[in-house]
Amino acid sequence: MIKSSLYFLFCIAALYSSPFARCQSVHSSLEVEQEKDAFFIKRIHEEALASNGAYDLLTNLIKASGGHRLSGTSNYDRGAAFVEEALSKIGFEHISTQPCDVVRWARGEDDAVHIIHANGAHESIPAVALGNSGHSDDKAVEGEVVIFYHIDSVDTYKGDLTGKIAFFARPFDQKLINTFRAYSGAVAQRVFGPNKAAKRGAIATIVRSMASNLDDHPHTGVTIFEDGVDPIPAMAISTLAAERLEHMITEGLLRVSVKSSSGEIGITSDDNVIGELSGSDYPDEIILAGGHLDSWDIGDGAHDDGSGCAHVMEAFRLLLDTGYKPKRTWRCVLFANEENGLAGGLEYARLSNERKEFHLAAIESDAGGFTPKAFSFVAQDSLVNYMKAINRIWPLLEAYSLDIQFTGSGADISPLKSQGGLLIGFRPDPQRYFDFHHSTNDNLSNVNPRELNLGAAAIASLIYLIDKYGL
Ligand SMILES: [Zn+2]
């Protein structure tokens, strides 16, 4: 009786100490191994929350860089120096840098958009220049506004855009559960709209901010002009200003003015920063976890992508601090220039292919520091085989409410697709990401420490399982 009560208590204790502990008199060796794994993953999560390591890394990165880490700036260089030192402290044997050419684009100090009322009065609205946009020669350009809800409408526009200002007003589709799908549905107008308008003779463009909320904070982001097309001023206006302007246009308002002294100021070089630890059993199979170190300049790049950098550095720190020794080669990669060129991701893949390397799995965190929800998988041609392996280890992660998705991976790791390994995107809760993304609100105060720390634990758990079992 006493013996069976003790056994019962042991079972209850085991149940609470490990989500996968089971009271069974006979354990298969796989079950024993899974219980060890479940215990290890639980320990990783507890340490992530207790140590606050990811949040401390993010705080210190922002402090060291001086806020943002825009490509080609001294802020970026200070951020790169900080992560080099952090990777060394975490325990990576080889720290290296990979220089890559990046466009240096600088924001003007007095960029502005004004509504011109019928009585001639000018009214300023919240606006910021888009990255890679052109300037207006230190003076405001003024013109009639033509509104577009789809970039292809510029091609079919029957009127003359010469001397006019194109306004791209497509909002996020609020019906979509996944805000990244809403972003994808609207972002083309920002990336390609100004180029199309410039080719039709427009003197400037304004774009509704790519944001899921209504407020007065404009969101910047990249725009791309084709070779041979002179960049024109291109400004994002806040979602509230866009709705008001849209309404005023229906009421008969026709003119706005745009002033921008933003523009390209040459080419410079930024570094990818890489920490590496050789694997004991399969050194030729690389497991990469990375984020992009660069950010836009009007916030601190706390969610995009300081959080991703903190996630992956802390994930490796959590694993190494347990004494775990990698069986496969681990790389922590902080990529340069994701925001306005992808030079870092392209250069990393070019050198890796040149060296005939194989990335068994590359994981990118670039969707903010929110509560972990899923990992998303992409593979060249053997996804079915990979998913068999993933499905074997997944019950250990399901216990932490992590789902499997097939919604792409990450921009910086996508050039590795030709190596045939598994590309994986970390997917936190997407509901608030586009409230902050590329705006002045993308700062530390909008990152929740527990949510961020849990992201590092989720990534560490997946690295551990892939390292231990392979694919
Ligand atoms: Zn990003």
CA 54 to centroid of ligand 1, rounded, Å:
17
Query: How is 276-320 classified by DSSP, letter by letter?
Result: EE--SSEEEEEEEEEEE----SSS--IIIIIIHHHHHHHHHHHHH
Question: Looking at the DSSP assignment, which residues form a beta bridge with residue 123?
Answer: 115
Q: What is the pLDDT of residue 138?
A: 80
Q: What is the pLDDT of residue 379?
A: 81
The number of residues making up the chain comes to 471
CA 55 to centroid of ligand 1, rounded, Å:
18
**Nearest Cα residue to 357 out of 278, 462, 468:** 278
CA 366 to centroid of ligand 1, rounded, Å:
5
CA 184 to centroid of ligand 1, rounded, Å:
14
Q: Which helix (H) or strand (E) holds 240?
A: helix 239-250
Q: What count of other Cβ atoms lies within 10 Å of the Cβ of residue 468? A: 16
Q: Domain map of the chain by residue range?
A: 34-105+266-469, 108-261
CA 455 to centroid of ligand 1, rounded, Å:
16
**Nearest Cα residue to 404 out of 380, 375, 428:** 375
In angstroms, the Cα distances linking 318 to 20, 92, 253, 312, 466 are 21, 13, 58, 10, 16
CATH number for 34-105+266-469 (one of 3.30.2420.10, 3.40.630.10, 1.50.10.10, 3.40.50.2300): it is 3.40.630.10
CA 438 to centroid of ligand 1, rounded, Å:
9
Q: Return the residue matching tokens 């946009």.
A: 133
3-state secondary structure 338-390: CCCCCHHHHHHHHHHHHCCCEEEEEEECCCCCCCEEEEEEEECCCHHHHHHHH
CA 368 to centroid of ligand 1, rounded, Å:
8
Each residue's pLDDT, cut to its tens digit, for the chain (471 residues) gives 333 343 333 333 443 344 444 444 446 787 888 899 999 999 999 999 999 999 999 999 999 999 999 999 999 999 999 999 999 999 999 999 999 999 999 999 999 999 999 899 999 999 999 999 999 988 999 999 999 999 999 999 999 999 999 999 999 999 999 999 999 999 999 999 999 999 999 999 999 999 999 999 999 999 999 999 999 999 999 999 999 999 999 988 789 999 999 999 999 999 999 999 999 999 999 999 999 999 999 999 999 999 999 999 999 999 999 999 999 999 999 999 999 999 999 999 999 999 999 999 999 999 999 999 999 999 866 777 888 888 888 989 999 999 999 989 999 999 999 999 999 999 999 999 999 999 999 999 999 999 999 999 999 999 999 999 998
CA 367 to centroid of ligand 1, rounded, Å:
7
CA 406 to centroid of ligand 1, rounded, Å:
19
Q: What is the pLDDT of residue 27?
A: 60
CA 342 to centroid of ligand 1, rounded, Å:
11
- Alpha-carbon span 224 to 94, nearest angstrom: 36
CA 261 to centroid of ligand 1, rounded, Å:
25
Q: What is the pTM of this model?
A: 0.92
Positive or negative CA dihedral for 83, 84, 85, 88?
Answer: positive
> Tell me: the pLDDT tens digits for 323-351?
999 999 999 999 999 999 999 999 999 99
CA 221 to centroid of ligand 1, rounded, Å:
10
CA 105 to centroid of ligand 1, rounded, Å:
18
First to last CA, the chain: 46
CA 308 to centroid of ligand 1, rounded, Å:
8
CA 40 to centroid of ligand 1, rounded, Å:
30
Q: What is the pLDDT of residue 320?
A: 98
> Tell me: the pLDDT tens digits for 20-54?
444 444 467 878 888 999 999 999 999 999 999 99
CA 410 to centroid of ligand 1, rounded, Å:
9
CA 284 to centroid of ligand 1, rounded, Å:
29
CA 339 to centroid of ligand 1, rounded, Å:
7
CA 23 to centroid of ligand 1, rounded, Å:
45
Q: Which fold has domain 108-261?
A: Glucose Oxidase; domain 1 (3.50.30)
